[in-house]
Chain A
Amino acid sequence: MDLLIPEVGTLIWMLIAAGIVFFILVKWGFPAITGMVDERNEYIDKSLQAAKEANERLAGIQTECDELLKETRAEKARILKEAADRRDEIIAEAENRAKESGEKLISDAREQIRLEKEEALRSLRRQVAELSVQVAERVVLKELSTDEDQLLLIDRMIDDVKTGK
């Protein structure tokens, strides 16, 4: 029966010895351990999360790369096509312009020729007239003594020439 009665002295010793140790452990012992275990668990969770995110990002980068490559290819094709178009355009324009300027040159030349021809005709005609006059002078000099007769003859001859033409 005495086994079942708590002894006051033991309780007091327990209070002193175990009390102090309990206080130390509760205050400085276990919090250090559990705190760090919690911290490490948190760190592990965070690391796992980060690894998962990194993996996801890596996969994202892969698809992004593919996308970029595809885009680039499309851009290249577009640029090439544009360049070809532009080239054709330029060539066409150059041809046009060459044609135009050639035509203009030809027409200019033709005009020049026409003008020169006219000029030549005119001068020719004058020389012919002068020559005719001189010839006529010589011919008529003897027949015509008066100026009036001369002039009349000249007019008649000119008219003949004009109509004769």
Chain B
Amino acid sequence: MKRILYILSLLLLMAVMPARAQEAQADEETVDVKGIIFGHLKDSYHWHIITLGDKEVSLHLPVMLYSKVSGWHFFMSDKLGHEGSYEGFHIAQDGAYAGKLVETLPDGTELKPLDLSLTKIALAVIFNSLLLCVIVMCTARWYRRHSSTDPAPKGFVGLMEFVIAMIVDDVIKPSVGKDYKRYTPLLLTIFFFILLSNIMGLIPIFPAGANVTGNIAVTLFLALITFFTVNVFGNREYWKEILWPDVPVFLKAPVPLLPFIEIVGIFTKPFALTVRLFANITAGHAIILSLTCVIFITAKMGPAIGAPMTALSLFFMVFMNFLELLVAYIQAYVFTMLSAVFIGLSRPEEEHKEIEN
């Protein structure tokens, strides 16, 4: 308790001190809230780790571009420098490609190259994947070394088993139905990848802290896994229900009204998965960052307003972090559950139909 008080007062002091120091140059620099928030939410060509005084410590990442005009380009992101341009490429400030590297052609137009750069998100994906692999394989190793007659595992392996058993029994088994065992490993992998990425996104220290599941390409990839699993392993009954559903003929014969709706439904399901996860995580990160920014904005208004607002925003930040921890779990849970439900829907049982008829 004493230690927490100490840390809190130190933080308050830190929030107040720069305000004193900056009073002289008060109105010169305003806090770029939008820039801070979107700078975190969006992908980047380098990984900013910490700012020590004036020095920015960041990890420079390799840039790989393929342009139809000038071919392949490989360079490290520190070559981009502060103005952000190198070899005819520069980082677009606004427009559809804001924050991305675009090529300026001789005639002045801008062209988006195929961007295969190992960006911050890509590196975080690789790191998270490796971490997940280590965690799960270490857990699996325990099971390889023990037989089923041994007592149940304790500690971390026990926790993993608890979570796995909960997801399998509460989510996968009832949602998928009969042959759920075929899909269990995939759905568990998706669950743990999302959960780990969500939690890693909440830890603000390198190598965590990248907004992985708040990146729409990542969530799209995860949704595509579900999409292909559903549609590749869907049985005959599933396709019959889409193309020739069990409804009055005029709804499907001259104008395929219901089949059309069903086919749209095939694509809206992964779309919903993509957007739900992306939006939830993005919103959570945005709120926490906004609350963080409140400290710096109010600190400029002097200690009288800054100190209580800092305390208040700290309180809300702690609260939001707990909430986001819950959201991290819930979103992983929901994504897995919906994937399981979609898989279950793609494998309706034929007998069920016959009884109805």
Query: With A3-B38, A10-B121 in contact, do A30 and B136 touch (Cβ < 8 Å)?
Result: yes
Q: How far is the CA of A27 from the CA of B137 in the complex (A)?
A: 11
Most chain B beta-carbon contacts within 10 A, residue among A6, A9, A17, A27: A9
Contact residues, A1-33 vs B (CB, 8 A): 1-15, 17-18, 20-22, 24-33
Q: Which residues of B contact A85 (CB under 8 A)?
A: none
Binds B, one of A36-44, A125-133, A139-147: A36-44
Query: Shortest Cβ distance from A118 into chain B, in angstroms?
Result: 107
Q: Which residues of B contact A15 (CB under 8 A)?
A: 221
Most chain A beta-carbon contacts within 10 A, residue among B43, B129, B160: B129
Q: How far is the CA of A5 from the CA of B118 in the complex (A)?
A: 18
Return the CB mask of A114-126 against B: 1 if under 8 Å, else 0: 0000000000000
Query: Shortest Cβ distance from B120 into chain A, in angstroms?
Result: 10
Q: Are A26 and B115 in contact (CB under 8 A)?
A: no
In the complex formed, the residue of A with least CB distance to B215 is A10
Q: Which residues of A contact B115 (CB under 8 A)?
A: 7-9
Contact residues, B55-85 vs A (CB, 8 A): 64
Chain A interface helix/strand/loop/mixed? helix
Query: With A9-B114, A9-B119, A26-B189 in contact, do A33 and B96 touch (Cβ < 8 Å)?
Result: no
Sorting the interface of chain B by its residue count into under 10, 10 to 19, 20 to 34 or 35 or more gives: 35 or more
Within 8 Å by CB of B140, from A7, A18, A32, A40, lies A32
Q: Which residues of B contact A17 (CB under 8 A)?
A: 122, 125-126, 129-130
Return the CB mask of B190-231 against A: 1 if under 8 Å, else 0: 001100000000000000000000011110110001000000
| A34 proximal to B (CB < 8 A) | yes
Query: With A2-B100, A39-B148 in contact, do A33 and B119 touch (Cβ < 8 Å)?
Result: no
Q: Are B125 and A40 in contact (CB under 8 A)?
A: no
| B310 proximal to A (CB < 8 A) | no
Binds A, one of B27-35, B180-188, B254-262: B180-188
Q: Are B122 and A29 in contact (CB under 8 A)?
A: no
Q: How far is the CA of A35 from the CA of B185 in the complex (A)?
A: 10
Q: How far is the CA of A4 from the CA of B137 in the complex (A)?
A: 34
Query: With A10-B217, A14-B221, A33-B143 in contact, do A28 and B125 touch (Cβ < 8 Å)?
Result: no
Q: Which residues of B contact A2 (CB under 8 A)?
A: 42, 96-100
Within 8 Å by CB of A40, from B133, B152, B160, lies B152
Query: Shortest Cβ distance from B152 into chain A, in angstroms?
Result: 7
Q: Are A14 and B140 in contact (CB under 8 A)?
A: no
Q: Are B148 and A13 in contact (CB under 8 A)?
A: no
Query: With A8-B115, A33-B160 in contact, do A21 and B129 touch (Cβ < 8 Å)?
Result: yes
Query: Shortest Cβ distance from B95 into chain A, in angstroms?
Result: 8
Q: Are A24 and B188 in contact (CB under 8 A)?
A: no
Query: Shortest Cβ distance from B193 into chain A, in angstroms?
Result: 7
Query: Shortest Cβ distance from A5 into chain B, in angstroms?
Result: 7
Q: Are B125 and A36 in contact (CB under 8 A)?
A: no
Q: Which residues of A contact B154 (CB under 8 A)?
A: none
In the complex formed, the residue of B with least CB distance to A20 is B129
Q: Which residues of B contact A35 (CB under 8 A)?
A: 143
Query: Shortest Cβ distance from A135 into chain B, in angstroms?
Result: 130
Q: How far is the CA of A92 from the CA of B175 in the complex (A)?
A: 90
Q: Are A11 and B164 in contact (CB under 8 A)?
A: no
In the complex formed, the residue of B with least CB distance to A18 is B129
Q: Are B133 and A21 in contact (CB under 8 A)?
A: yes
Known A-B contacts: A8-B115, A33-B143. Give 19 more (CB < 8 A): A3-B41, A3-B282, A6-B217, A7-B100, A7-B115, A9-B64, A9-B115, A10-B125, A12-B116, A13-B121, A21-B133, A24-B137, A25-B185, A27-B185, A30-B136, A30-B140, A30-B189, A33-B136, A34-B168
A-B contact pairs, 25 of them (CB 8 A): A2-B100, A4-B216, A6-B220, A7-B217, A8-B217, A9-B64, A9-B115, A9-B119, A10-B121, A10-B217, A11-B221, A13-B125, A20-B129, A21-B132, A25-B137, A25-B185, A25-B192, A29-B189, A30-B188, A33-B139, A33-B160, A33-B161, A34-B164, A36-B143, A40-B152
Pairs of residues from A and B, 6 with the lowest C-beta to C-beta distance, nearest first: A13-B122, A10-B217, A39-B148, A6-B217, A21-B129, A30-B185
